[in-house]
Amino acid sequence: MSEQPDEMVDAYLRHLLQGAAAPDLAGVDARQRVELERTFTLLDAVAGIDPDLVPPYEDDAVARALGLSPPAPASDLADTRRRITREIERLRRDALVLPDDEAAELPDARSDLLVRVGGTRIRVTVVGPGELAHPEGLLREADRLFYRFPETAAVALVAGDEDLSTQVVEPQDCRPAVETPSGLRVGPRPGRPRLALGAAMTSYLDTIEPVWEEPGTLVEDPDRDFDVAVVAAETATEVVRRLKDEAARARISAKGIAFAALGNYEIEELTRLVMDVARGHIATEEVGERIGRLTRDAA
Amino acid sequence: MDESFAYKGAMGHGLEHLLSNAEAGSINWSEVYECLKTPLWYAAARGARQVGVRDREAIAEAVQQAFTEFMDLDFAKVMSPDSIARTIAYRRGLDRGIAARRRWTRETAMESLPADLLRAEPAQAPGYAESAEEEFFSVEELRRQEERWRRARECLDALTGRQRRVVHESVMRARTLTEIGNDLGISHTAVRKHRQKGLEALRRCVESAAVP
């Protein structure tokens, strides 16, 4: 540009900034004209427009006047993703938390993380502050995710607040349904409560991927002595002890007196009854009769 | 130049995605504003510059009015929301610019002229559009200019310190070469030379980004 007439640049700036007439390039030779026109194209875009024109959010009078709250910066989003990953890994469900690269390739799929627990795929979408209070739009977006990725069992909508408030939604939550018995069309609406991330994921995974506890081992001892008389005596003693304990709490005084009076006689009679049943010495109908007699004696 | 450059909100979502919740009435306007911030401010500033106004307050008013009007749009019927936003902001920049010029002219006149001579509307300076609605402009050209301006901001770093200062002050902030020379303690001719070299370097940088 060193060969360009600098006065032309001055004139063009005056034209752009002060409304003066545009300089006439008629007398300029072709090569210089091309150079000047390219410079004018640049000046058209930048002259009089400060590079610091767009204010940062904290100094933006327009955002303040419109009552717009500053959106979470990207660094906060990355931090939220890290917190979510940590929190899910802390559940000890052998969960694998990955960036959702598949969803990132689609323009209308809003998903930040993919959680794989066993055969279950859960997508995690980080939502803005207050978005969970109006879930209609979020449910529509989640429905698009279920459509695009049918293997997705649920979508966790996570707000980047202190608790990582989470709304887990399943495909049926994102579509309208006919409610029984009213027959009314309801929804879409979330079917689960909004909880902190850990609680929400645990609650969901307990339903869909329950953790089975190891059953206790039964130890058979072939040498163990088993004396029916001893077991019967122990059981009878326990029954009588329990009834005597109940005597102290009985509301009906006669019942309290009767139970309190139980003692060795009843233990012996009950033991004998169990022994007779075990050995087949008495018929079934006789059992009721002997218990009745014992009750009457106690009374 | 990457013409497909699209601004995104802080959460990383584009404008169309953010406006897809319009029917449910659950648009996150803070995010939308974040997406449109640069196009709105640039378009409003360009509109105001068209009538010789660079007043930041007037531009801010234009941006606020434009975004308020944008929020009232029926997005089901809008094909290209960012183009509409730019168009509105440019128009409002033009309006505010014209209003500001009229105010200044009136104030200046009131300081120097007797009241009985102020019955008529003060005349517009030559070369400026009388009515914002009559002003023709191409939103596509505006978008290209915004892209060049965005690139130029980045390219300023490629200039030497003095070139950067002179181009910034003389071209973008429209200060006179004499004022800048006084600030830097150098002659008017030296400032002019820095501007020449700086503009040349800036143009090359912007154009190199434009042609892949």
Q: Which two tokens stand for residue A64?
A: 């303040």
pTM: 0.55
Nearest CA in chain B to A62: B64
Q: Give Cα B129 to chain centroid, integer Å.
A: 17
| Domain span holding position B200 | 159-212
Out of B10, B17, B145, the one facing A44 most closely (by C-beta) is B145
Cα–Cα distance measured from residue A130 to residue B3, given in angstroms and rounded to the nearest whole number = 34
Classified by CATH at the fold level, domain A74-208 comes out as Trna Endonuclease; Chain: A, domain 1 (3.40.1350)
- Tens-place pLDDT, residues A64-116: 888 887 665 656 788 889 999 999 988 888 889 999 888 887 766 788 999 99
B152 in any annotated domain: no
pLDDT at A221: 67
pLDDT at A173: 92
Cα–Cα distance measured from residue B35 to residue B127, given in angstroms and rounded to the nearest whole number = 34
| Chain region(s) in chain A for CATH 3.40.1350.10 | 74-208
In chain A, which residues have their Cβ closer than 8 Å to the Cβ of B98? none
Q: Does B45 touch chain A (CB under 8 A)?
A: yes
pLDDT at B74: 83
Mutate to test the interface with A, among B28, B61, B135 (most CBs of A within 10 A): B28
Say what the ipTM of the complex is. 0.81
- Tens-place pLDDT, residues B35-90: 889 999 999 999 998 888 888 889 999 999 999 998 888 887 888 888 889 999 99
B150 in any annotated domain: no
Q: Does B154 touch chain A (CB under 8 A)?
A: no
Mutate to test the interface with B, among A46, A57, A60, A134 (most CBs of B within 10 A): A46
Q: Does B28 touch chain A (CB under 8 A)?
A: yes
Q: Tell me the three-class secondary structure of B102-144, residue by residue.
A: HHHHHHHHHHHCCHHHCCCCCCCCCCCCCCHHHCCCCHHHHHH
In chain B, which residues have their Cβ closer than 8 Å to the Cβ of A54? 37-38, 41-42
Out of A38, A70, A108, the one facing B30 most closely (by C-beta) is A70
Give A36→chain B minimum CA distance, Å: 10
B203 in any annotated domain: yes
Cα–Cα distance measured from residue B179 to residue B166, given in angstroms and rounded to the nearest whole number = 10
Return the number of other C-beta atoms located less than 10 Å from residue B194's C-beta.
Answer: 25
In this structure, the answer to whether residues B130 and B189 fall within a common structural domain is no
Amino acid at position A101, single letter: D
B17 in any annotated domain: yes
In chain B, which residues have their Cβ closer than 8 Å to the Cβ of A141? 20-21
- Tens-place pLDDT, residues A117-173: 988 999 999 987 677 887 888 888 899 899 989 999 999 999 988 889 999 999 999
In this structure, the answer to whether residues B121 and B25 fall within a common structural domain is yes
Q: Does B199 touch chain A (CB under 8 A)?
A: yes
Out of B49, B67, B145, the one facing A48 most closely (by C-beta) is B49
| B126·A141 Cβ contact <8 A | no
In this structure, the answer to whether residues B123 and B164 fall within a common structural domain is no
